[in-house]
């Protein structure tokens, strides 16, 4: 795509450098653009004239570019002389191209319109600018921009047509993202490489260092990105569910990973039974619990999800039966407290005996785990309404489906799959049945979260023992 000479702003596009060998030569991006500048004869007036010329639309307005510059005359610049860059339509030798405001300032001998050569180089251009200049025209229909950043790692999932330029793309990504030190490209689908949702990858730029640290939901996580599952694009979904949980409630996170739901929930005073089958995820989850000082609220487990669903419910009932369902949290002294001030009493919290929410974030297969809720509270009907005010837990199960504009077809299909696994009908449109669109994962594939309350017909049925 060559510069369009009819568009004055085309002057500020990068030079076209088709890289047949997929090699990055940064020096080729230097460009000298002839424009005009307004020399401010008294530097004390620089702010006033900047505002005036921006209002009259004479000033050059470009993203990432400061339009106040040292005077191009070295002698004047050494004395603090400044000038204001002007848009390319303003010609130094053609006063007719100047606005009335600019002409008046020149006549008053406060400004002087002079030629100016604006130097732009590789550091000025954005990632998209550079890739537009480098990639062949046939590869520019959709320049790769869909990458995830996890700590210092940029994770690409390049389409086949971009593979010849993968090293070039990675090199520019590192240049244009200060936080990125390593760029990888996924070489197979999530779950193909491992049952723990990890994936095969190749390093395109930087070191093969996958030990990352990230911060989300006011919590810090450290993990080996090559050994655990993490998706930065789910940050909104993590927050959406955590916002539903109230302090003092109990959440059972069946496929917790390194804790993106569990740890922020624990931070707000929610009790969380957090489980993951992957030993590396479990180790990172324990680290996050310690690192974020939430061990009073979050308990980690490494177990099969089918068994954990029932075990977590039984564990809470057992804690209540054995009077081990209280937690004592020592009070913190105020910074203003004197040594002689009495120590405040500790806070004593009681863990409820039943679970309020189940989170099942394993979209490929989570619905298949729903059979384990059969008989979850068999024989404990008296703990729930109408005998008490306690309600049966909400279940939030993530899944994949097709995609459409209104999601009606998908909602019906998801509820049908849930019903088959529960052996009880969950109907779209019921007050507590919500199928929430999470994100698109492919051109014809979408991730959803189906939320519904566990039916008493399922919860109090004869328990199905998980194998």
Output the known binding site for S-adenosyl-L-methionine: 238, 276-277, 304-305, 361
Instruction: Tell me if 133 sits within 8 A of 15, measured CB to CB.
Output: yes
Instruction: Give the chain's end-to-end CA distance (angstroms, integer).
Output: 61
Neighbour tally for 187: CB within 10 Å: 13
3-class DSSP string for the chain:
CCCCCCCHHHHHCCCCCCCCCCCCCHHHHCEEEEEEEEEECCHHHHHHHHHHHHHCCCECCCCCCCCEEECCCHHHHHCCCEEEEECCCCECCEHHHCCHHHHHHHHCCCEEEEEEEEEECCCCCCHHHHHHHHCCHHHCCCCCCCCEEECCEEEECCCHHHHHHHHHHHHHHHHHCCCCCEEEEECCCCCCCCCCCCCCEEEEECCCCCEEEEEECCEEEEEECCCCCCCHHHHHHHHHHHCCCCCCCEEEECCCCCCCCHHHHHHCCCEEEEECCCHHHHHHHHHHHHHCCCCCCEEEECCCHHHHHHHHHHHHHHHHHCCCCEEEECCCCCCCCCCCCCCCCCEEEECCCCCCEEEECCCCCHHHHHHHHCCCCCCCHHHCCCCCCCCCCEEEEEEEECCCCCCHHHHHHHHHHHHHHHCCCCCCCCCCCEEEEEEEEECCEEEEEEEEECCHHHHCCCCCCCC
Strand partners, 109: none
Instruction: Tell me if 31 sits within 8 A of 124, measured CB to CB.
Output: no
Q: Give the pairing type, strands 357-360 and 250-253.
A: parallel
Residues annotated as binding site?
A: 238, 276-277, 304-305, 361
């Amino acid at each position: 795509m060559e510069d369009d000479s009819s568009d004055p702003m085309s002057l500020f596009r990068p030079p076209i450098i088709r890289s047949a060998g997929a090699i990055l030569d940064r020096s080729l991006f230097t460009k000298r653009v002839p424009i005009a500048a307004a020399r401010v004869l008294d530097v004390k007036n620089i702010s006033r004239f900047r505002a005036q010329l921006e209002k009259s639309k004479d000033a050059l307005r470009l993203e990432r570019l400061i339009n106040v510059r040292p005077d191009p005359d070295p002698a004047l610049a050494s004395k603090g002389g400044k000038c204001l860059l002007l848009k390319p339509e303003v010609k130094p030798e053609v006063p007719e191209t100047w606005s009335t405001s600019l002409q008046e300032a020149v006549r008053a001998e406060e400004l002087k319109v002079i030629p100016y050569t604006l130097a732009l180089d590789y550091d000025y251009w954005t990632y998209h600018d550079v890739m537009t200049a480098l990639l062949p025209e046939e590869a520019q229909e959709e320049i790769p921009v869909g990458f995830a950043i996890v700590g210092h790692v940029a994770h690409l999932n390049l389409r086949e047509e971009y593979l010849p330029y993968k090293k070039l793309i990675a090199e520019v990504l590192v240049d244009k993202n200060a936080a990125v030190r390593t760029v990888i490209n996924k070489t197979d689908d999530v779950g193909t490489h491992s049952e723990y949702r990890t994936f095969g990858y190749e390093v395109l730029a930087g070191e093969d260092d996958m030990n990352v640290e990230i911060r989300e939901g006011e919590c810090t996580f450290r993990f080996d990105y090559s050994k655990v599952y993490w998706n930065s694009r789910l940050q909104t979904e993590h927050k959406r569910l955590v916002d539903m949980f109230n302090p003092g409630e109990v959440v059972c996170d069946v496929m917790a990973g390194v804790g993106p739901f569990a740890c922020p929930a624990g931070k707000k005073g929610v009790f969380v039974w957090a489980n993951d089958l992957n030993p590396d995820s479990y180790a990172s989850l324990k680290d996050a619990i310690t690192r974020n000082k939430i061990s009073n609220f979050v308990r980690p487990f490494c177990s099969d999800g089918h068994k954990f669903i029932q075990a977590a419910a039984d564990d809470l009932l057992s804690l209540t039966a054995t009077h081990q369902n209280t937690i004592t949290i020592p009070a913190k002294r105020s910074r203003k407290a004197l040594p002689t001030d009495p120590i405040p009493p500790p806070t004593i919290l009681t863990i409820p005996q039943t679970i309020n929410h189940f989170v099942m974030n394993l979209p490929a297969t989570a619905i298949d785990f729903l059979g384990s809720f059969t008989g979850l509270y068999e024989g404990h009907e008296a703990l729930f309404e109408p005998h008490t005010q306690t309600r049966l837990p909400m279940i939030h199960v993530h899944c994949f489906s097709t995609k459409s504009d209104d999601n009606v077809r998908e909602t019906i299909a998801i509820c049908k799959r849930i019903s088959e696994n529960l052996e009880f009908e969950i109907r779209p449109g019921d007050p507590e049945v919500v199928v929430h669109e999470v994100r698109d994962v492919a051109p014809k594939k979408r991730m959803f979260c189906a939320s519904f309350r566990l039916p008493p017909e399922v919860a109090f049925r004869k328990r199905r023992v998980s194998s």
